[in-house]
Amino acid sequence: MQRDIEKILIPHAKIAQRVHELAEMITRDHGGAAAEVTIIPILTGAMIFAADLIRHLPMRMQIGLLAVSSYPGRSVRSQGSMVLSEQVGNLRGRHVVLIDDIVDSGGTLRLVREMINEAQPATLKTCVLLRKPTEGAKETGIDYLGFEIPDEFVVGYGLDYNDHYRNLPDIVTLKPHVLQGLANA
Ligand code: PRP
């Protein structure tokens, strides 16, 4: 895996610091340690970000799971977002925080937000680690954002290419030969 890395875009120490800051903002906005929330990571990409984030949140929480796919296999462009499975529990009257690793076209977050809103939560906030500079992403209101990144294909810290590289601790780009021939996939 290491030899496939072109450059480190965001090192893990910087991610860790930002995750801590995001957790403080979420805690403050929800009224501190006495609050109760439902956290919904959008799987699979948000798994590692969510696991780190929730350990900095001092309030009681339920965790819902939602799997959505937009970039199946070797796709580097969105193929349209599709809910693969959901196990979110009863969200009526709950304070819900959606967690995702990246917003690119914004399709995933729009779809999931609509779906969660139908369940009538008391509040719905979104926390996203990375945002690309696309029109769709800019139009997608994000309540808690980690980093703006350039329009490059990135992996690591939960993000994948063909289901690999999620376990890299840093956010990185891949060498061109790794992605070669797949730009139209
Ligand atoms: C990725 C990522 C986001 C979504 C963002 O998921 O985790 O959920 O795409 O892209 P969008 O803003 O263009 O919709 P992916 O479909 O690759 O599934 P995964 O989380 O299982 O990797």
CA pair distance 40, 10, nearest whole angstrom = 24
Determine if ligand 1 sits within 6 Å of the CB of residue 126.
no
**Higher model confidence: residue 76 or residue 179?**
179
Question: What separation in Å is there between the alpha carbon of 33 and the centre of ligand 1?
Answer: 31
Q: Which residues are known catalytic residues?
A: 104
Q: What is the DSSP string of 42-88?
A: EETTTHHHHHHHHTT--SEEEE-EEEEESS-TT-SS----EEEEEE-
Determine if ligand 1 sits within 6 Å of the CB of residue 108.
yes
pLDDT bracket for residue 185 (50, 70, 90): very low
pTM exceeds 0.85 for this model: yes
Question: What separation in Å is there between the alpha carbon of 31 and the centre of ligand 1?
Answer: 30
Give the mutation target among 83, 99, 102 for probing the ligand 1 site: most ligand atoms within 8 A of CB. 102
Query: Are the beta carbons of 27 and 85 closer than 8 angstroms?
Result: no
> Residues 14-53: pLDDT tens digits?
999 999 999 999 999 999 989 999 999 999 999 999 999 9
Question: What separation in Å is there between the alpha carbon of 12 and the centre of ligand 1?
Answer: 20
Question: Given the CA of residue 45, which atom of ligand 1 is nearest to it?
Answer: 20
> Residues 112-158: pLDDT tens digits?
999 999 999 999 999 999 999 988 888 888 999 999 999 999 999 99
Determine if ligand 1 sits within 6 Å of the CB of residue 44.
yes
Question: What separation in Å is there between the alpha carbon of 72 and the centre of ligand 1?
Answer: 9
Determine if ligand 1 sits within 6 Å of the CB of residue 129.
no
